[in-house]
Amino acid sequence: MSLRPTRSSYYEELRQRGYSRRDFMKFCATVAAYLGLEASGVGQVAHALETKPRIPVIWLHFQECTCCSESFIRSSHPIVADILLDKLSLDYTETLMAASGHQAEKCMRDTMEKYKGEYVLCIEGSVPTEADGVYCMIGGRTSLDILKEAASGAKAVIAWGSCASNGCVQSAKPNPTGATPIHKLLRGTTVIKVPGCPPIGEVMAGVLVHIITFGTIPELDGIGRPKAFYSKRVHDTCYRRPFYDAGLFVERFDDENAKKGYCLYKVGCKGPLTYNACGVTKWNNGTSFPIQSGHGCFGCSEEGYWDAGGLYLRAQPFPGFGIESDADKIGTAAAIATGVGIAAHAVMTNLRKSRLIGNLISEGKEAEKEL
Amino acid sequence: MSTHKLRRVFVWELPVRIYHWVNALAIVVLCITGYLIGKPPAIMFGGEAHERYLFGWIRFIHFVAAYIFLFNFVFRIYWGFAGNKYAGWKNFIPTNRKYFREMWEVIKIDILQLKGKEHLSVGHNALAGFTYFMMFLMFLVQIITGFGLYAAMSHSWIAGLFAWAPYLFGGDFALRQIHHITMWLFILFAIIHVYLVFYHDYVEGRGEVSSMSGGWKFIEEEVFEETEKKSAQSS
């Protein structure tokens, strides 16, 4: 994928590819809906894609499994993959580019120089920091080195997936490679976090289209996630929510309640703790999402979900107290110990303070007689 | 056989007593509903989900009690500056050597039950006061983690004030965990607190148990004489 001398608009490229005007407008409407825009927003998206030149994208892969890319190219609308992968001018991405070796490296360098301050930097994967970053090197350079250089000229930095956003499985204890999420390495740069393992393809497309349409990064929450997709918990949009409110829960995966489709809260569903759009957007062309298939949410888009305890446990084990130790078990043991301590103290009081107590009692008895 | 003349001392003002019992009730309700939210009971039910709202009610009661707990605590902080000398903030936060000396006295005489001169204080003893201070910090932890979890599903600006909590602790996972274990600290505190109230009533005979309803404690005449002597010496 080489640099094109003149950059045509997305719409032009799509028409060349054989998409009809109708297909294009359907795509605009879909994306505008994902972004939560009002009806007039469809026009804005369409106008932007018709007029604005393609935004150059550098898509870097560090410590990751490419599930983010996989998710992205499977987003529900075919134009998403076409427009944003084939035509998005992915000037550099290890997985999908045609070039290799020195040619590829040159591609990246050319984009960084030619489109300085214009290109969008997408990062898939975390960056290892232990042992001088030798755990992930590309073209003889550490990923940290590449990241810093690429980020310095980027218009926007997107951290795709949980690896880039919060470290995901690489950064799980004991984290031998020192895997570090992007925002911790680019202090002072706004990093758009799109967590999830993987993130939903439509969400990824939505973030990119927002940047294309408005020329700005989408509105972010306190930790840098786009509010349009990460402001609601999976729990708040879950179709099983009425069972939760009714107090009807699956007790075991194979029980009667599971067959009735009750809430998966007690078998460890992390929906109430997880901020993502799965309940609304769903996966695989809106076919389903984990909870719909009878499996609790893992909380894959939440920070540290690998270390937070059992994926199927409602009450999490407590760090330092062993794997069976949820808060209630520790608390009960402590309450019993307290009870024993109190009983011992009460016995000791009667022994050690017998004279004091005896005096009080006899004094009271004397007084009683006088009345 | 000595006999004591007792004088009635107004220790706990009405706002302190109201605070105490509102707080006690809120904590009991919060612990019970909170435990149920953490470990909902298994229920067999033949009907449809829309016919019931059990878990919704449990959570609703928890949130209402949480608001009461919060504002009650805010009021108590205010009363730490407005109230009498037994309610003041200096009872809880050590500001001088004497405070620590008294804490050590209480540990020796009341906890370890070493022989020695009985230690008596009219309001909170130093160890109790400091323990309450620790509990106030736990109140704060519980309010921050609880409202932090609640903020995402609430439109209230009060809950919104705590929306930063998940980001500080690294997400709702950690908040929930801290919120849950801190509940147990409240339960442990309650057990020890109730026991010690009875203990003090038993070994001091000053009406410790009833003091939180009427506000009075009954203090020996000698204590007044000693206090007078001390103030005469220092002046």
User: Which has the higher per-residue pLDDT, B40 or A5?
Assistant: B40
Tell me what the mean pLDDT of segment B105-121 comes to: 84
CB contact under 8 A, A247 and B171: no
For B118, nearest residue in chain A (alpha carbons): A356
Please tell me if residue A282 touches chain B, with a CB cutoff of 8 Å: no
Which is it for the CA torsion A120, A126, A132, A134, positive or negative?
negative
User: Which has the higher per-residue pLDDT, A58 or B194?
Assistant: B194
CB atoms within 10 A of CB B83: 18
Please tell me if residue B39 touches chain A, with a CB cutoff of 8 Å: yes
Q: Is residue B229 part of a domain?
A: no
pLDDT at A337 over 60: yes
In chain A, residues under CATH classification 3.40.50.700 are 10-229
pLDDT at B103 over 50: yes
What's the pLDDT score for residue A325?
78
3-class secondary structure, A122 = strand
Which is it for the CA torsion A37, A41, A42, A44, positive or negative?
negative
Range of the domain at B135: 19-204
Q: Looking at chain A from residue 338 to 357, which residues have their Cβ under 8 Å from any Cβ of chain B?
A: 338-339, 342, 345-346, 348-349, 352-353, 356-357
Instruction: Quickly state the pLDDT bin for B235 (edges 50, 70, 90).
Output: low
pLDDT at A310 over 80: no
Tell me what the mean pLDDT of segment A281-308 comes to: 89
Residue in A248, A315, A359 closest to B38 by CB:
A315
3-state helix, strand, coil in chain A (%, to 5): 50, 10, 40
Tell me what the mean pLDDT of segment A226-235 comes to: 91
For A309, nearest residue in chain B (alpha carbons): B173
pLDDT at B143 over 80: yes
The values of phi and psi at residue A126, to 5°, are -90, 170
The values of phi and psi at residue B142, to 5°, are -70, -40
pLDDT at A2 over 50: no
What's the pLDDT score for residue B45?
81
CB atoms within 10 A of CB A109: 13
Contacts of A4 (CB under 8 A, 6+ apart): A89
- The mean pLDDT value of chain A amounts to 86
Q: Is residue B124 part of a domain?
A: yes
Instruction: Quickly state the pLDDT bin for A4 (edges 50, 70, 90).
Output: very low
pLDDT digits over A161-200, tens only? Answer: 999 999 999 999 899 999 999 999 998 888 999 999 999 9
Closest CA to A6 of A80, A114, A96: A114
Q: Say how far apart CA B152 and CA A234 lie, in whole Å.
A: 11
Tell me what the mean pLDDT of segment A278-291 comes to: 89
What's the pLDDT score for residue A1?
39
Q: Name the residue with tokens 């009219």.
A: B122
CB contact under 8 A, B188 and A366: no
Q: Is A1 exposed, middle or buried (0-12, 13-18, 19+ CB in 10 A)?
A: middle
Fold of A10-229: Rossmann fold (3.40.50)
Q: Looking at chain B from residue 63 to 102, which residues have their Cβ under 8 Å from any Cβ of chain A?
A: none
What's the pLDDT score for residue A97?
72
What domain count does chain B have?
1
Q: Which amino acid is at B55?
A: F
What's the pLDDT score for residue B73?
97
Q: Say how far apart CA B122 and CA B216 lie, in whole Å.
A: 10
pLDDT at A135 over 50: yes
Tell me what the mean pLDDT of segment A197-219 comes to: 88
CB contact under 8 A, B173 and A316: yes
Instruction: Quickly state the pLDDT bin for B193 (edges 50, 70, 90).
Output: very high
Q: Is residue B168 part of a domain?
A: yes
Transcribe A185-221 into DSSP letters. Answer: TSTTS-EEEE-SSS--HHHHHHHHHHHHHHSSPPPB-
What's the pLDDT score for residue A50?
87
The values of phi and psi at residue A140, to 5°, are 80, 5
- H or E stretch covering A72: helix A67-73
What's the pLDDT score for residue B43?
81
Residue in B38, B56, B184 closest to A334 by CB:
B184
In contact, B99 and B50? CB cutoff 8 Å: no
Transcribe A132-199 into DSSP letters. Answer: GGTTSEETTEEHHHHHHHHHHT-SEEEEEHHHHHH-GGGGSTT-TT-EE-GGGTSTTS-EEEE-SSS-
Q: Say how far apart CA B72 and CA B18 lie, in whole Å.
A: 9
- Chain A: give the shortest CA distance to residue B171, in Å: 6
What percent of chain A shows pLDDT beyond 70? 92
Tokens of A264: 């998966």
User: Which has the higher per-residue pLDDT, B230 or A249?
Assistant: A249
The residues with which A122 forms a beta bridge, in sequence order, are A59, A158
Residue in B54, B172, B192 closest to A342 by CB:
B192
CB contact under 8 A, A302 and B171: yes
Please tell me if residue A139 touches chain B, with a CB cutoff of 8 Å: no
In chain A, residues under CATH classification 4.10.480.10 are 234-293
3-class secondary structure, A263 = strand
Residues of chain A found within 8 Å of residue B183, distances taken between Cβ atoms: 327, 331
- Chain A: give the shortest CA distance to residue B138, in Å: 15
What's the pLDDT score for residue B225?
87
Residues of chain A found within 8 Å of residue B113, distances taken between Cβ atoms: 345, 348-349, 352-353
Q: Is residue B42 part of a domain?
A: yes
pLDDT at A210 over 60: yes
CB contact under 8 A, A357 and B118: no
Q: Say how far apart CA A83 and CA A204 lie, in whole Å.
A: 13
- Chain A: give the shortest CA distance to residue B37, in Å: 10
ipTM passes above 0.90: no
Q: Is A174 exposed, middle or buried (0-12, 13-18, 19+ CB in 10 A)?
A: exposed
CB contact under 8 A, A328 and B2: no
pTM of the model: 0.86
Instruction: Quickly state the pLDDT bin for A3 (edges 50, 70, 90).
Output: very low
Please give the biggest Cα pair distance in chain A.
112
pLDDT at B127 over 50: yes
In contact, A301 and A68? CB cutoff 8 Å: no
Instruction: Quickly state the pLDDT bin for A12 (edges 50, 70, 90).
Output: confident
Q: Which amino acid is at A245?
A: D
Highest mean pLDDT among B24-38, B107-121, B143-157: B24-38
pLDDT digits over B50-74, tens only? Answer: 888 999 999 999 999 999 999 999 9
Residues of chain A found within 8 Å of residue B163, distances taken between Cβ atoms: 222
- Chain A: give the shortest CA distance to residue B20, in Å: 22
CB contact under 8 A, B173 and A302: yes
- The mean pLDDT value of chain B amounts to 91
Please tell me if residue B195 touches chain A, with a CB cutoff of 8 Å: yes
pLDDT at A74 over 50: yes
pLDDT at A314 over 90: no
3-class secondary structure, B63 = helix
**What CATH number is given to the structural domain containing B43?**
1.20.950.20
- Chain B: give the shortest CA distance to residue A291, in Å: 17
CB atoms within 10 A of CB B149: 21
3-class secondary structure, A92 = strand
In contact, B12 and B207? CB cutoff 8 Å: no
Please tell me if residue A364 touches chain B, with a CB cutoff of 8 Å: yes
Q: Is residue B71 part of a domain?
A: yes
Q: Which amino acid is at B186?
A: F
What's the pLDDT score for residue B232?
84
The values of phi and psi at residue B67, to 5°, are -65, -45
Q: Which amino acid is at B60?
A: F
Residues of chain B found within 8 Å of residue A232, distances taken between Cβ atoms: 152
Residues of chain A found within 8 Å of residue B170, distances taken between Cβ atoms: 303-304
- Chain B: give the shortest CA distance to residue A183, in Å: 14
Please tell me if residue A246 touches chain B, with a CB cutoff of 8 Å: yes
Closest CA to B55 of B69, B46, B42: B42
Please tell me if residue B163 touches chain A, with a CB cutoff of 8 Å: yes
Which is it for the CA torsion A360, A363, A365, A367, positive or negative?
negative
Residue in A232, A328, A334 closest to B38 by CB:
A328
Please tell me if residue B177 touches chain A, with a CB cutoff of 8 Å: yes
**Helix extents (H) in A234-353:** 241-246, 256-259, 278-281, 327-352
- For A104-108, A174-178, B183-187, which range has the lowest pLDDT when averaged over its residues? A104-108
In contact, B58 and B33? CB cutoff 8 Å: yes
Q: Which CATH superfamily does the domain covering A234-293 fall into?
A: Cytochrome-c3 hydrogenase, C-terminal domain (4.10.480.10)
Q: Is residue B116 part of a domain?
A: yes
Q: Say how far apart CA B36 and CA B43 lie, in whole Å.
A: 13
Q: Is residue B227 part of a domain?
A: no
